[in-house]
């Protein structure tokens, strides 16, 4: 059974800092890995998706990497802003089509 762990559970940084969120998974037989953000009481917004054959994806200030052999993915946020404050979730999709979600990292960016 796939297990997905996100560290840290919560993170508070001053505006402008670069930061890294971590996601680890136990079964490397994945189809893809997707990062989401969730604002309080809201649904999930897709940020980046990395296919199993890829090593990284970039969108604006966000960069996500994938190392299947070590069971890890990182989400790098450059020059953080207060609007980046949210919970960030990673989801690992298995070859069978189902996704397993981590518990998320709650990020607070202070002005």
Partner 1 sequence: SAVISQKPSRDICQRGTSLTIQCQVDSQVTMMFWYRQQPGQSLTLIATANQGSEATYESGFVIDKFPISRPNLTFSTLTVSNMSPEDSSIYLCSVEWADRANIQYFGAGTRLSVL
Residues paired with 88 in a beta bridge:
37, 105
Q: Which stretch binds partner 1 (CB under 8 A): 18-26, 60-68, 72-80, 91-99?
A: 91-99
Nearer to partner 1, 12 or 18 (CB): 12
Asked whether position 67 contacts partner 1 by CB under 8 A, the answer is: no
**Ramachandran sector of residue 33 (left: φ over 0; alpha: ψ -120 to 50; beta: rest):** beta
Where do we find the tokens 């200030």?
Answer: 61
Q: Name the minimum Å distance from CB 1 to partner 1.
A: 10
Asked whether position 86 contacts partner 1 by CB under 8 A, the answer is: no
CA distance 101 to 44: 12
Asked whether position 55 contacts partner 1 by CB under 8 A, the answer is: no
Nearer to partner 1, 41 or 60 (CB): 41
Nearer to partner 1, 8 or 16 (CB): 8
Return the DSSP state at 16: T
Are the C-beta atoms of residues 106 and 9 closer than 8 Å to each other?
yes
Length of the chain as a residue count: 111
User: Interface residues with partner 1 (CB under 8 A)?
Assistant: 31-32, 34, 36, 41-46, 49, 51, 89, 91, 93, 97-99, 101-104
């Amino acid at each position: 059974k796939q297990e997905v762990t996100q560290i840290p559970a919560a993170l508070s940084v001053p505006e402008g800092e670069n930061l890294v969120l971590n996601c680890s998974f136990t079964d490397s037989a994945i189809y893809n890995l997707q990062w989401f953000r969730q604002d309080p009481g809201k649904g999930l917004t897709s940020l980046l998706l990395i296919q199993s054959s890829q090593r990284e994806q970039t969108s604006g200030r966000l960069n996500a990497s994938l190392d299947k052999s070590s069971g890890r993915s990182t989400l790098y946020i450059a020059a953080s802003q207060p609007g980046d404050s949210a919970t960030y979730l990673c989801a690992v999709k298995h070859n069978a089509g189902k996704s397993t979600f981590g518990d998320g990292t709650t990020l607070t960016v202070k002005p």
